[in-house]
């Protein structure tokens, strides 16, 4: 047995914080918060409470058809997360919950919660398999063309509703960050149900826009456009931006919002080349994404969205500012600039022009 005395390590400096497992605990239990939210949405807590305006714990317990013990736990959890407000032993929705988590409201976010809980959350359980195989786990690329081929229609409805809400707020951020006054006609490539054109044309009465997407998507877009009262300003164009040889012409600005991260570099470069060909001299392209820092140390939303692309797509990735700039230059664009955005769907808009 060794008799060598133990040599103590250096004492912690008064100015050096002692490491604590609290950040790891928060990471490890992050799913607790999400699942509490998902359960509350599925139970209709926020929609029910909105109808009642406020309610006591026993009243909510009865309305949700729960036993007292789990109801008490759920209400405490949602209050601690800032989703409910408790005053004088009565509960009401927080402003966030009232605005986004009451079903039927214009900016209903519960669809994204349900989509994430039922579609993405189980797939993230298989993240290690995705990392080892470099294959998505939300669908089987050997038997399906995409994740949406056999998806539950209810899941797809939640997805597109959620994308409309997220994109609406990102469109507002883009409208604040970029001057659309010089632009006359916008083409939104892969524009989904039209949130960006609706938002931008509402802010800029001179602007006209076109949503380019698959026919089943543009049908939903036309409903949203009509409901918004902007059918005179926003049109749709059926097409496939990947397989069509060219993009529609007649537009002086093209938007790619959360599109390029779905594909590999070669596909992204090819799409930007189509954009360049479709634009007139002086036209602009706008890439709106969660963009990685060039040293790939963050920000976390962009990095984690990249992992989400691993489980959701064949070859998607969240790319860096430098990569997008290189792609744009390679496609013939110049004068590339980046403007920061504060939005759930994007942290930057990268803008370049065709000489």
The answer to whether 119 is a known catalytic residue is no
d(CA 293, CA 347): 11
Q: Token pair for residue 44?
A: 């209709």
- Could you tell me the two tokens for 90? 């009565």
**Nearest one of 183, 229, 233, 226 to 210, comparing CA atoms:** 233
CB 341 within 8 A of CB 347: yes
- Options 119, 178, 251, 261, the catalytic residue: 261
Contacts of 179 (CB under 8 A, 6+ apart): none
According to the 3-state scheme, what is the secondary structure of the chain?
CCCCCCCCCCCCCCCCCCCCCHHHHHHHCHHHHHHHHHHHHHHCHHHHHHHHCCEEHHHHHHHCCCCHHHHHHHHHHHHHCCCEEEECCEEEECHHHHHHCCCCCCCCCHHHHHHHHHHHHHHHCCHHHHHHHCCCCCCCCCCCCCCCCCCCHHHHHHHHHHHHHHHHHHHHHHHHHCCCCCCCEEEEECCCCCHHHHHHHHHCCCCEEEEEECHHHHHHHHHHHHHHCCCCCEEEEECCCCCCCCCCCCCCEEEEECCHHHCCHHHHHHHHHHHHHHCCCCCEEEEEECCECCCCCCCHHHHHHHHHHHHHCCCCCCCEHHHHHHHHHHHCCEEEEEEECCCCCCCEEEEEECC
Cα separation, 262 vs 341, whole angstroms: 20
Gap between the Cα atoms of 244 and 340, Å rounded: 32
Active centre residues (catalytic):
261
């Amino acid at each position: 047995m060794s008799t060598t005395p133990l040599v103590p390590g250096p004492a912690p400096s008064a100015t050096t914080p002692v490491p604590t497992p609290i950040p790891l605990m928060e990471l490890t239990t992050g799913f607790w918060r999400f699942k509490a939210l998902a359960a509350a949405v599925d139970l209709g807590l926020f929609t029910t409470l909105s109808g009642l305006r406020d309610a006591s714990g026993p009243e909510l317990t009865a309305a949700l058809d729960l036993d007292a013990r789990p109801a008490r736990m759920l209400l405490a959890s949602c209050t601690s997360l800032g989703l409910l407000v408790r005053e004088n032993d009565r509960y009401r929705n927080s402003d966030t919950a009232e605005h986004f988590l009451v079903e039927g409201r214009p900016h209903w976010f519960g669809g994204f919660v349900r989509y994430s809980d039922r579609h993405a959350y189980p797939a993230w359980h298989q993240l290690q398999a995705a990392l080892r195989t470099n294959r998505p786990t939300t669908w089987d690329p050997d038997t399906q063309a995409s994740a949406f081929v056999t998806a539950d229609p209810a899941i797809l409805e939640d997805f597109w509703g959620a994308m409309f809400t997220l994109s609406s707020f990102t469109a507002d951020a883009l409208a604040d960050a970029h001057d659309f006054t010089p632009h006359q006609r916008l083409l939104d490539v892969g524009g989904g149900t039209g949130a960006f054109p609706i938002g931008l044309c509402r802010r800029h009465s001179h602007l006209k826009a076109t949503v380019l997407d698959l026919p089943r998507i543009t049908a939903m877009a036309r409903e949203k456009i009509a409901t918004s009262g902007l059918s005179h300003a926003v049109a749709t164009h059926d097409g496939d931006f990947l397989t069509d040889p060219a993009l529609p012409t007649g537009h002086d600005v093209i938007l790619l919002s959360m599109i390029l991260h779905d594909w590999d570099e070669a596909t992204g470069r090819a799409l930007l080349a189509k954009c360049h060909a479709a634009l007139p001299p002086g036209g602009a392209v706008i890439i709106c994404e969660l963009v990685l820092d060039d040293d790939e140390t963050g920000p976390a939303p962009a990095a984690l969205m990249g992992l989400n692309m691993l489980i959701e797509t064949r070859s998607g990735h969240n790319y860096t500012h430098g990569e997008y700039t290189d792609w744009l230059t390679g496609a013939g664009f110049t004068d590339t600039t980046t403007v920061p955005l504060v939005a759930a769907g994007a942290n930057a808009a990268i803008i370049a022009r065709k000489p």
